[in-house]
Amino acid sequence: MSAPNEGRGRRFARWLYPRRRAQLWFLLAAPLLWIVAVYLGSLLILLLNAFWAKDALTNTVTPFDWTLKAVIDIVTKPVYAIVAGRTLLIAVLVTITDAVLAFPIAYYMARVASPRRRGALVVAVLLPLWAAYLVKTFAWRTILQGNGFLSWLLSPFGIPGPGLDELPNAWLVLSYLWLPYMILPIYAGLERIPESLLEASADLGAKAGTTFRRVILPLAFPAVVAGSIFTFSLSLGDYIVPDLVADAKFIGNLIYDNSALGNLPVAAAYSLVPIVIMLVYLVVARRLGAFESL
Amino acid sequence: MRRLSIPAALVTIGLVMAACGTSGPSGAPTTLGDNEDELNLIIWDGYAEKGAVDPAYDWVTGFEDETGCKVNATPMTDSANGVSLLQGGQYDGGSFSGDATIRLMASGDVVAVNVDLIPNYKDVFEGLKLKDFNSKDGVPYGVPHGRGPNLLMWNTDVVTTAPTSWDPIFEGGSAYQGKISVYDSSIYIADAALHLMQKDPDLGITNPYQLNDEQFAAAIDLLEKQRDNGAVYWGLLTDQVQSFESGDTVIGTTWPYQVNLLKGEDPPAPVEAVLPDEGSTGWSDTWMIYKDAAHPNCMYRWMNHILSPEANAEATVWFGEAAVTQKACDAAEAISAGHCEQQHASDEEYWNTIWYWTTPQADCADNDDATTCKDQDAWIEAWSTLRGA
């Protein structure tokens, strides 16, 4: 840096020093611009497409040529409701499955395991996250496919393997993929419960089961809800797993198909559905105190 | 991805505008300039091989060395996807089938080509010139790549009597329940319509791509039965290859390329394929140039290259489709004897029995004004309903 530049910097600093509001604006300008213009702006343009007309032959969307055709299609054609229902069902099942699997693991990690073993378990839970999502999905393909591992395992019992076109495959693979996202918040939530509360509960005569039901579970529940935000939203938005292991259409697949095939208005209109579902979910999660547990 | 600084981007825009200045009234250039450094293509899988699958088949590296145009190829999953990709504006052109070319010409996303700048164009079979799927108002909009029919493929270990009709995948398919392989694209509705043309003449289908409400409903009905019989859908051709390898599917509709890939395995997969007696849908593909191509000179040189005897012979043998020039047929003899005879390369009578992929249009793509047919959007929507529900 040369001296004149430094002088200018000094002068600017002197000007800025007493102006707290200007300091704040300078600090936040870049991230605000990012959020409002780049992030929300592009989202807004995407959603506006839902209300613009499109030509069937040429695929051209005419901006500001307002129509409700795409939205009406989404509401009246049964396929969109069926697919949304299927996606919701799997997302709920995955969330319940992960919660049931994660709770004992997290409980063991937080309250039973020795510090050494706890460290090893945290690593074991985190390790799968280091492998790429696609690698894990393709690993499941080789397990589930016609002449794959599962069908080899089941063949002595005369049961055929599932193949790659069964809906339950999506439930299985998504539950596997998102399990760490459920374990970690529950683990953190359970660890935060002070030992003194459990002792107090015991002093007041509660048995282990009662303490679990009346003390641990209510205190850990917001953490479960926090974990469920991850498992639910990740499942709701996934379109690769259902395609690769289940040959099933989820909300994301219909959005992807429609945009890949050039029907942007329908894709945009349909993306309103998961947005609304997630908003409702987040409001409920907030009521249940999940945001304090994140 | 190459990053462009703002000054560089401005210079590029300036150059593009300058380049536009030299073009003729129809949008086609009258002279070619220096080659750019790259070429971004939308292709059908297998249309721009660099020897990655089989080192003997490489018609891209030589082109790159000769012209300095580095080829980046993106495969499309189906024609509608190809249209959407090109309209994204990132590509210089692509190899499109008739259902895409008609839409692209109508939307103005592709422009007429000046065939004087493509010396090899004069060798193209007359039967492939100035067709409705590769020209508009008597002006060519691209150069052909190859053509062929969609085939019926089966696993010879499971399907022991060779089928001669599409029946096994449409009628009485219970024999292969859950193991029927079907192309995952709305254009496949035409295959069902083609089958109905013979099976149900009362419907009065005369063109499997231009269907009225009743005909369309009948085709969808047939496809729903096929789906409920456990059809397995392939979007990427590698999915189909994999499902035939694993035995997840044993019979289905395919392109010659998958048959080649499966038979080329070591040991060869037990598959056979046939053009069924009812005839088939098929394709005649055309390389077209994007209206705002960033690398038009490379694109023109590519269109000339793909028509060269060696490149066209290699490309069409590799995919298993008919070559488009007699010189390519002669060159193909060295790679695969009898290639053009097997593929009926210059046999226009044969091609009259193949229904090339084309765009479903509301006006039925005919001369009267009646708009009684299902359009492209209706086809795509019906397909996603079929697949999603």
Cis peptide before B267 (omega within 30 of 0): yes
Subunit contact B81:A253, Cβ cutoff 8 A: no
Residues, chain A: 294
Is residue A41 domain-shared with residue A75, that is, in the same domain? Answer: no
Q: Point out the residue among A57, A165, A243 whose CB comes nearest to the CB of B376.
A: A57
Strands A61-66 vs A52-54: parallel, antiparallel or unpaired: antiparallel
Contacts of B106 in chain A (CB under 8 A): 57-58
DSSP-assigned beta bridge partners for residue B322: B147
Q: Point out the residue among A60, A78, A263 whose CB comes nearest to the CB of B389.
A: A78
Q: Point out the residue among A56, A253, A261 whose CB comes nearest to the CB of B81.
A: A261
Burial class (CB in 10 A: 0-12, 13-18, 19+), A51: middle
Is residue A103 domain-shared with residue A147, that is, in the same domain? Answer: yes
Phi-psi region of B22 (alpha: psi -120 to 50; beta: other; left: phi over 0): alpha
Q: Point out the residue among A147, A261, A262 whose CB comes nearest to the CB of B247.
A: A147
Subunit contact B381:A77, Cβ cutoff 8 A: yes
Dig out the tokens for B321 from the structure. 């489709």
Can you tell me the distance from the alpha carbon of B274 to that of B149, in angstroms, rounded to the nearest whole number? 10
Of A49, A67, A85, which residue is a domain's last? A67
Q: Name every residue whose Cβ is closer than 8 Å to that of residue B107 and which is 6 or more positions away in sequence.
A: A55, A57, A58, A59, A60, B87
Subunit contact A83:B389, Cβ cutoff 8 A: yes
Cα–Cα nearest to B289, from B24, B37, B108: B108
Q: Name every residue whose Cβ is closer than 8 Å to that of residue B326 and which is 6 or more positions away in sequence.
A: B123, B125, B346
The CATH number covering residue A269 comes to: 1.10.3720.10
End-to-end CA distance of chain B: 38
Cα–Cα nearest to B144, from B125, B165, B119: B125
Q: Which residue has the tokens 């083609």?
A: B194
Is residue A277 domain-shared with residue A289, that is, in the same domain? Answer: yes
SS3 content of chain B, % helix, strand, coil (to 5): 40, 20, 40
Determine the residue among B101, B182, B246 to mutate to test chain A binding: the one whose Cβ has the most chain A Cβ atoms within 10 Å.
Answer: B246
**pLDDT, position B230:** 85
Subunit contact B384:A258, Cβ cutoff 8 A: yes
Is residue A103 domain-shared with residue A233, that is, in the same domain? Answer: yes
SS3 B273: strand
Q: pLDDT in tens for each of the 294 residues of chain A?
A: 445 556 888 998 899 999 999 999 999 999 999 989 889 999 999 899 999 998 888 888 888 999 999 999 999 989 999 999 999 999 999 999 999 999 999 999 998 999 999 999 999 999 999 999 999 999 999 999 877 888 888 888 888 778 788 899 999 999 999 999 999 999 999 999 999 999 999 999 999 899 999 999 999 999 999 999 999 999 999 999 999 999 889 999 999 988 888 889 999 999 999 999 999 999 999 998 888 776
Write out the residue range of the structural domain in which residue A169 sits. Answer: 70-293
Can you tell me the distance from the alpha carbon of B377 to that of A59, in angstroms, rounded to the nearest whole number? 9
A76–chain B Cβ distance below 8 A for any pair: no
Cα–Cα nearest to B110, from B124, B131, B91: B91
Contacts of A163 in chain B (CB under 8 A): 178, 232, 248
Contacts of A80 in chain B (CB under 8 A): 388
- Do residues A190 and A106 touch, judged by C-beta distance below 8 A? yes
A60–chain B Cβ distance below 8 A for any pair: yes
Is residue A152 domain-shared with residue A193, that is, in the same domain? Answer: yes
Dig out the tokens for B165 from the structure. 């009709």
Is residue A63 domain-shared with residue A89, that is, in the same domain? Answer: no
State pLDDT tens for residues B272-316: 999 999 899 999 999 999 999 999 999 999 999 999 999 999 999
Instruction: Give the closest-approach CA distance of A241 to chain B in angstroms.
Output: 14
Chain B positions touching chain A (beta carbons under 8 Å): 77-78, 80-81, 83-84, 87, 102-103, 106-109, 178, 186, 230, 232-233, 235, 242-243, 246-248, 359, 361-362, 375-378, 380-381, 384-385, 387-389
- Do residues A27 and B345 touch, judged by C-beta distance below 8 A? no
Contacts of B230 in chain A (CB under 8 A): 165
Q: Point out the residue among A79, A146, A262 whose CB comes nearest to the CB of B83.
A: A262
CATH class label, B151-254+361-388: alpha beta
Contacts of A73 in chain B (CB under 8 A): 381
Instruction: Give the closest-approach CA distance of A278 to chain B in angstroms.
Output: 22
CB atoms within 10 A of CB A188: 17
∠ CA A255-B221-A89 to the nearest 5 degrees? 40
Cα–Cα nearest to B305, from B55, B3, B30, B65: B65
Strands (E), B104-250: 110-111, 135-136, 139-140, 143-149, 151-155, 180-183, 231-234
Dig out the tokens for B254 from the structure. 């395919």
A134–chain B Cβ distance below 8 A for any pair: no
User: ipTM value of the model?
Assistant: 0.72
A57–chain B Cβ distance below 8 A for any pair: yes
Q: Which residues 172-231 on chain A approach chain B with CB closer than 8 angstroms?
A: none
Is residue A125 domain-shared with residue A24, that is, in the same domain? Answer: no
Subunit contact A145:B242, Cβ cutoff 8 A: yes
Dig out the tokens for A248 from the structure. 């099933």
Is residue A20 domain-shared with residue A99, that is, in the same domain? Answer: no
Determine the residue among B81, B185, B228, B377 to mutate to test chain A binding: the one whose Cβ has the most chain A Cβ atoms within 10 Å.
Answer: B377
Can you tell me the distance from the alpha carbon of A254 to that of B174, in angstroms, rounded to the nearest whole number? 29
Cα–Cα nearest to B270, from B256, B250, B253: B250
A249–chain B Cβ distance below 8 A for any pair: yes
Domains B6-147+284-355 and B151-254+361-388 share a fold: yes
Subunit contact B389:A79, Cβ cutoff 8 A: yes
Q: Name every residue whose Cβ is closer than 8 Å to that of residue B309 and which is 6 or more positions away in sequence.
A: B123, B325, B327, B328, B330, B331
Taking CA–CA distances from A249, the nearest residue in chain B reads: B388
Domain boundaries, chain B: 6-147+284-355, 151-254+361-388
Can you tell me the distance from the alpha carbon of B355 to that of B133, in angstroms, rounded to the nearest whole number? 12
Is residue A185 domain-shared with residue A212, that is, in the same domain? Answer: yes
Report the number of distinct structural domains present in chain A: 2
A79–chain B Cβ distance below 8 A for any pair: yes
Q: pLDDT in tens for each of the 389 residues of chain B?
A: 344 444 444 444 444 444 444 444 456 889 999 999 999 999 999 999 999 999 999 999 999 999 999 999 999 999 999 999 999 999 999 999 999 999 999 999 999 999 999 999 999 999 999 999 999 999 999 999 999 999 999 999 999 999 999 999 998 667 898 899 999 999 999 999 999 999 999 999 999 999 999 999 999 999 999 999 889 999 889 999 999 998 889 999 999 999 999 999 989 999 999 999 989 999 999 999 999 999 999 999 999 999 999 999 999 999 999 999 999 999 999 999 999 999 999 999 999 889 999 999 999 988 887 789 999 989 999 998 999 87
SS3 B139: strand
- Do residues B70 and B39 touch, judged by C-beta distance below 8 A? yes
B292-302 exposure pattern, b = at least 16 Cβ within 10 A, e = fewer: ebbbbbbbbbb
Can you tell me the distance from the alpha carbon of B245 to that of B150, in angstroms, rounded to the nearest whole number? 20
CATH architecture of B6-147+284-355: 3-Layer(aba) Sandwich (3.40)
Is residue A24 domain-shared with residue A161, that is, in the same domain? Answer: no
Q: Which residue has the tokens 């005569």?
A: A205
Is residue A48 domain-shared with residue A166, that is, in the same domain? Answer: no
Subunit contact B246:A259, Cβ cutoff 8 A: no
